[in-house]
Amino acid sequence: METILITGTSSGYGLETARYFHDRGWNVIATMRTPREDVLPASDRITVLPLDVTDADSIAAAFDAAGPIDVLVNNAGIGSIGIVEATPVDKARELFETNTFGVMATTKAVIPQFRERGSGVIVNITSSVVLADMPLTAMYKASKMATEGFTASLALELASVGVRAKLVQPGYCPTTQFTANGGDISHLIPQTYADFAGPILEAFSVQGNVTTPLDVAETIWRAVHDTTGTLRFPAGPDAVALAQAS
């Protein structure tokens, strides 16, 4: 029976992915900054562990407690939208700490066991913002583009030792905690840009052909089982459309 460790499973994509793999017979190690076992089914195949991907000691403790795994899904992330001029550099650092450096740190933690076995899969979750130029997302996109570049090079290195690395690019999902995890954004949209930003923010609230957590979980499943050498997997109808148009 295979084991998957997923970061950021308290809600959204991570939670749905944990449920999805569990329903298909996998052992699931669900990690989150503040563990909540009540969000997942009661099962001897689910282990909930604390993990803060920005804390080296937390990463070491989580991987030690997890033991051998077959798949790592780096899903933990925070979002932010705003005008570049109004966005503090500290906000960019916060985004990179979780969305980029956190991914690098957990990836480095798992590579030795995968390399020694000559098998394993690392799936890094980015975003459809990498597929098109989108206003108000510059800082967030920068953190995700960095993870894209990291993973593309990583995949080439790991292929030499029998390990696979994949990217999953979710589209826009209104039901996730994207902006909530990034904090209040009102101060990041100065009045000078109100006429420009207003229609964009309004479009975010439109329930169109968008991505669901299930779309992402299904795509992660496909990425984990892919043996064709495909690196990037857009998730959700809007992300697929952007990928096809790019």
Q: Using one digit for the tens of pLDDT, what is the confidence trace for 146-155?
A: 999 999 999 9
182 pLDDT tier (thresholds 50, 70, 90): very low
Number of structural domains found in the chain: 1
Q: What is the CATH number of the domain that holds 42?
A: 3.40.50.720
Read off the pLDDT of residues 34-46 as tens digits, 9 standing for 90 and up. 998 899 999 999 9
- Vertex 97: Cα angle to 110 and 117 (nearest 5): 5
**Residues whose CB is less than 8 angstroms from the CB of residue 133 and which lie 6 or more positions away in sequence, other chains included:** none
**Which tens digit of pLDDT belongs to each residue from 78-126?**
999 999 999 999 999 999 999 999 999 999 999 999 999 999 999 999 9
Whole-structure pTM value: 0.93
Report the percent of the chain where pLDDT is more than 70. Answer: 94
Question: What gap in Å lies between CA 222 and CA 152, rounded to an integer?
Answer: 18
- pLDDT score of 186: 60
Structural domain harbouring 123 = 3-245
Give the pLDDT score at 180: 47
Does residue 135 surpass a pLDDT of 70? yes
Largest CA distance in the chain: 57
Q: Give the catalytic positions in this structure.
A: 140
Mean pLDDT of the chain: 93
Higher pLDDT, 83 or 208: 83
